[in-house]
Amino acid sequence: MSVRRAKPGLVGAGALLLALAGTFLWLYMLAGPWRLASGLLDAKDALKHAQNAISNGSNKDARYETLAAQAAAHRAGEGLDSKSPLFALADLQSKLKGTLSQAGHLVDAARFSAAAAAGTLHIAESALRGPNRIIVPDPNDPKGSRFAIDKVEEVAGEIAHVHADVLNARDALAAVKLQSLPHRLRGDVTKAISKADKTDKLLNDAQAGFKILPGFLGQGGKRVYVLGMQNSAELRGSGGSLLQFSLLDIADGKPHLEKTKTVYNVDQNRQQISIPLPADAWYVSGIPDAQRFGNANWSPDWPFSAQLTLDYASATVGPSFPHIDGMIGVDPTVMQYLLNGAGRFHIKAGNYISPNKILQLLLYRLYASYPIAGQRRVVLHDIVNKFYDHMLHPAHATQLVKGMGNALAQKHMQVWFSDPAEESFVKRMKWDGALSPAQGSDYVDVVEQNVGGNKLDYFATQTNTMHVQIDGSDAQDSTTVQIHNGVWLPQPRYSMGDSGPWHRPMINVYVPDDAQLTTAHAPPTCVSLTPSYTTCRRDTPAPAAWTGGAVATHHELGKQVWSGTLEIAPGKDGSIGYDYRVPSVVRTIGNRSVYRLVVQHQAKLHPETMDITLELPAGATQIAAPGWKKTSATELEWQHVLTKDTTLEVSWRT
């Protein structure tokens, strides 16, 4: 498929590719730290307005405000040189003298801030439109476009200049003697320095992204990537069962996206393939149907799942796969996030595809409207192909890029590259969907695998409850997972699958590898599927079987995993839980005790709720617990819907 030239400015044609390589950081760059000239009110206000305008894509307004900021900084400099304080700070009165002693640093900060804003605006205005844009007409294809890699490298240089201006502005503010300023201004300067430090990191990330971008765009030879669509109504560790995929190739900046295929173009007759498996592939080694291209993504660690999936593709006899340089996993929520930017569209079946309809259509209505699988796949192909086409020719690039950032942060999109430098950048940006090492910390990650051969995760919700009691340097933890089967009847046959309307989730609780299990709590073992059961525990598949009542235990990528399968009646709840001790997770830093908990999540249609209670030792004082709610003198509570991985830290003195 050729990439057509987008008429309205070619804004972001190929924004998917740019976002994957880090250019969506422009949004952060544009929303950067240009409130630096705390004492120069005109410049400060203009920079604030420019920041908002650029972030909203209003380049005309941003241009005006940036020029205003530059003019205000220039006026302030002239006033300083002439010893005339033209800073619009008349309300400071007697405190003006102390402020003026630091005015040189403030003026420098304003000038560098305005220069950074101007440079950022130039990138926003020229990189995706105009004669210096990075996407240009393809000389070999009158209807196509390509990435101008030389222009990409020019933008990288411009980002370096913006970065230098930000650092200079930060240094100017760091030179300010706060005690010489009125109290009302000191906080602004400190806050501005903190903002500059954060923007320094973001611009470092942006520069690292542009460093690997030419290679990603095929500067040294053609690159080929797999785009895999995961169905979150039938959960797998990495997000959902892999049902469709497409190949994206890029050579010398020219992208080509082939039409989507079903995984059964490769997994003909669901043929199982025998390949050498790494020791941590316990899901796949114990589940025969997972031993194929379209069902190997059971590990919640995307780099692990992606590589194993591609190993099966390479080993499959029949359709040959080219050499693959990376794999990008997406789920239907990505489509919901991106449609506002990509633009709504109609499909041949007559459906109007919009953000508020896409999830219900893909994960529920199509099963009722097209009970014959072959017909349903034709409609799905049409939706996915048109969606990808709109992504490469977006109606609103700024909204598309914002949606892309949310999808990456929440694991609805996960990226793995075979090139070590590119994969290092992906890890740096936390786009890789990998299990966190969480060294020296407590850790929890609850991962569901749908083993009922159904799509009932569309109806299911999940709540994780965790109680942590600090005992010396150890943590005594208790974690319970509760799932509600919210399905109602009747439902389409393909939605119900093998076990429906009973939901059959395999629950896998990931904890530190040295955790010591003391007690497990689970419903009775299923004897038969009768209406008398509301929930029970089923010893299937094999990796979830409790032998002699002992919990199924595994080790994966530095984590210990406890597994069990529940069977839950319609409208009912099922739960499974574990009590365990995690040694040596409380550290001493100076005169304070510190407990850190890393909480990871699985991308789901309905995000799980996490409810944590932390009980500190008796006599704990001076408790620092950002984000926690204090419920008693030594007890804290943290409750949130998990859309992102998070790290919680509490410190105290005893």
Of all residues in the chain, what percent are helix, strand and coil, respectively (each to 5)? Answer: 40, 25, 35
pLDDT in the model for residue 24: 30
User: Residue 126: which pLDDT band, with cuts at 50, 70 and 90?
Assistant: confident
Average pLDDT over residues 393-410: 82
User: Residue 255: which pLDDT band, with cuts at 50, 70 and 90?
Assistant: confident
pLDDT in tens, 149-194: 998 898 899 889 989 988 998 898 899 888 877 777 788 788 878 8
C-alpha span between 143 and 527 (Å, rounded)? 64
C-alpha span between 236 and 176 (Å, rounded)? 54
Residue 580 has pLDDT above 50, yes or no: yes
pLDDT in the model for residue 388: 77
User: Residue 198: which pLDDT band, with cuts at 50, 70 and 90?
Assistant: confident
Considering only residues 651 and 265, tell me which one the structure prediction assigns the higher pLDDT. Answer: 651
- Percent of the chain exceeding pLDDT 90 equals 50
pLDDT in the model for residue 390: 78
pLDDT in tens, 12-64: 333 443 333 333 333 223 222 222 233 344 455 555 655 666 566 666 665 65
* Radius of gyration of the chain from its Cα atoms, rounded to whole angstroms: 28
Rounded to the nearest integer, the mean pLDDT of the chain is: 83
Residue 11 has pLDDT above 50, yes or no: no
Residue 557 has pLDDT above 70, yes or no: yes
Number of Cβ atoms within 10 Å of the Cβ of 2: 14
pLDDT in the model for residue 169: 85
pLDDT in tens, 403-461: 888 999 999 999 999 999 999 999 999 999 999 999 999 999 999 999 999 999 999 99
Residue 211 has pLDDT above 60, yes or no: yes
Considering only residues 177 and 470, tell me which one the structure prediction assigns the higher pLDDT. Answer: 470
Least confident stretch, 145-149, 230-234, 564-568: 145-149
Q: Which of 92, 45, 98 is nearest to 71 (CA)?
A: 45
Residue 526 has pLDDT above 60, yes or no: yes
User: Residue 467: which pLDDT band, with cuts at 50, 70 and 90?
Assistant: very high
User: Residue 393: which pLDDT band, with cuts at 50, 70 and 90?
Assistant: confident
User: Residue 86: which pLDDT band, with cuts at 50, 70 and 90?
Assistant: very low
pLDDT in tens, 505-518: 999 999 999 999 99
Q: Which residues pair with 248 in a beta bridge?
A: 225, 257
Residue by residue, DSSP assigns 335-379 as HHHHHHHH--EE-TTSPEE-TTTHHHIIIIIHHHH--SHHHHHHH
610 in helix, strand or coil? strand
What's the predicted TM-score (pTM) here?
A: 0.85
Least confident stretch, 120-124, 304-308, 327-331, 629-633: 120-124
C-alpha span between 14 and 341 (Å, rounded)? 12
- Best-predicted range by mean pLDDT (93-102, 362-371, 535-544): 535-544
pLDDT in the model for residue 280: 97
C-alpha span between 139 and 143 (Å, rounded)? 9
Considering only residues 266 and 96, tell me which one the structure prediction assigns the higher pLDDT. Answer: 266
What lies within 8 Å, CB to CB, of 465 at 6+ separation is 479, 480, 482, 577, 611, 612
pLDDT in the model for residue 129: 66
